[in-house]
Structures are given as C-alpha cells and as structure tokens.
Amino acid sequence: MLNIGLILPDVLGTYGDDGNALVLRQRARMRGIDAEIHRVLLGEPIPSTLDVYTLGGGEDTAQILAAEHFIKDGGLTRAANAGRPILAICAGLQVLGTSFRASGRMVDGLGLIDATTAGLAKRAIGEVVSRPTGTVPGLTDTLTGFENHLGATILGPDATPLARVTRGNGNTDSTAATAAGASADQVGTEGAVQGSVIATYMHGPALARNPQLADLLLARAMDTTVEKLGPLDIPAVDRLRSERLA
C-alpha cells in the first residue's frame, strides 16, 4: 500500500495543487499498486511515516498558519529527516524555507529548505517553462507549469535549483536578487531541491503536466526505480504537454 499525504489542503489548497496527490494515486493504481490519500488538516498531527507528502499553495494568512503548525507539530520535519519524499508547491516552498514575507512581516519557516522569500515588485504570473539542473537524478524532461506569486526566493548554499527558466520568471528577478545581495546566478532559477524535498512554483497541477517528475516521486516513495515501475501510455498527458510547451 502506497500512503500519500495531502498536507493541510484546507489552508494550502487555493490553486488546485491537491491534484498532485490525485496524480500520484492514479499513476500508482494504473500500475496495479494499492494507493490511498491521507488528508491532514490544520490542527491535526502529521504522520511521519507516510510514503510521500504533497503541499500546495495558499495566501499570506494560510502560509502563517501552516508554518506555525509545521513548527509546533514536527511531523513533517521527522518525515524529511527520515528521507520521505516531499513535494511542495508555491506557498509550500516558501513555508518550508527558513523565512518568508507574509502580511507585511518576515515569518519563520520550517527550515527544510535553505531559502528566504521576500517580495517581488510585480507579480509573476503566467506560463513557466524550465530545464532541469540535474539536482534530481533522472529528471531530464522540460518542466512546464503556471506560476502565480509575489515571492522572491533566494536559495542558500544548502539548497540547489530544481531547474533554470527558459520562459517565465521563476524564483526571483534581478531587482529582488540585487536587493537581497544575492549573486546574479539566482536570477532565472526555478524551485529548490534539498534532501528529500522537491519544491517549485509550478501550479498546473505540476505532476499532471510533468509525468516524469511524478514517476520519480513514486519511485522514491516505493524505494524502487522508474524503470522497475514501468512506463504508462497516456495519450492525453502527451497532448497536454505538447499544448503547454507549444
């Protein structure tokens, strides 16, 4: 049985990122693997022994509530320390960093990602396309998603970018990077990878638009390889990718 954690969908579920858990479950079931989604709501304890965890996006108040819950509960930190794969989207990325700006102030994050998030002068919104940096072994396909954020995320030395943008904004822009005293190579980065955490600003849902990434997460969750999982032939997914990349 594959146990998929959908973490705080009541506060981090604004942009349809719950779909990432659905994609993982369906791609597992299509291979004959029993899989269930475990919804963990605000105020509930987060199990540290699930096989894979997904977090979505949300607004400022939701981010603050999520950060406070994660820090107090400790379950997600224990899961990360045990090497359980975690996928964090947008606000989820920011909350798992060391600090982020919300409601006009800097807020402590969970610290699973060496990243700080301040603010962009102009909202980054629209299609984003990026090329993997190699920080996730086996991830070679071009990544596609929809970004919608005001965060300017600067990665520290312990985190590495998931990808580099070929279209769209990504983690930060040159103005925000300069204001933060960050190096120029921060501009054009997308997402972050650290330990078992993969984080990105891509909505879509990200795993529906990037099946290779979905299968890499499944393989990690099941302690196997993508090759052993075997391929899935889903023409609708191929058409979706072609449309979004066109």
Domain residue extents for the chain: 2-245
Clarify whether 90 is annotated catalytic. Answer: yes
Could you tell me which residues are annotated as the binding site for substrate? Answer: 123
CATH code, 2-245: 3.40.50.880
Binding-site residue positions: 123
CA-CA-CA-CA dihedral for 78, 82, 85, 90, to nearest 10: 30
| Cβ neighbours of residue 231 closer than 8 Å, sequence gap 6 or more | none
Residues 6+ apart with CB under 8 A from 236: none
* Residue 178 CB coordination number (10 Å): 14
Cβ neighbours of residue 118 closer than 8 Å, sequence gap 6 or more: 101, 151, 152, 154, 176, 179, 180
Instruction: Assess whether 203 carries a catalytic annotation.
Output: yes
Catalytic residue among 38, 69, 90, 149: 90
- Using the 8-state DSSP alphabet, how is residue 184 labeled? G
- Please name the residue that has the structure tokens 């299609």: 127
pLDDT in single tens digits along all 246 residues of the chain: 999 999 999 999 988 999 999 999 999 999 999 999 999 999 999 999 999 999 999 999 999 999 999 999 999 999 999 999 999 999 999 999 999 999 999 999 999 999 999 999 999 999 999 999 999 999 999 999 999 999 999 999 999 999 999 999 999 999 999 999 999 999 999 999 999 999 999 999 999 999 999 999 999 999 999 999 999 999 998 898 889 888
Does the pTM surpass 0.95? The reply is yes
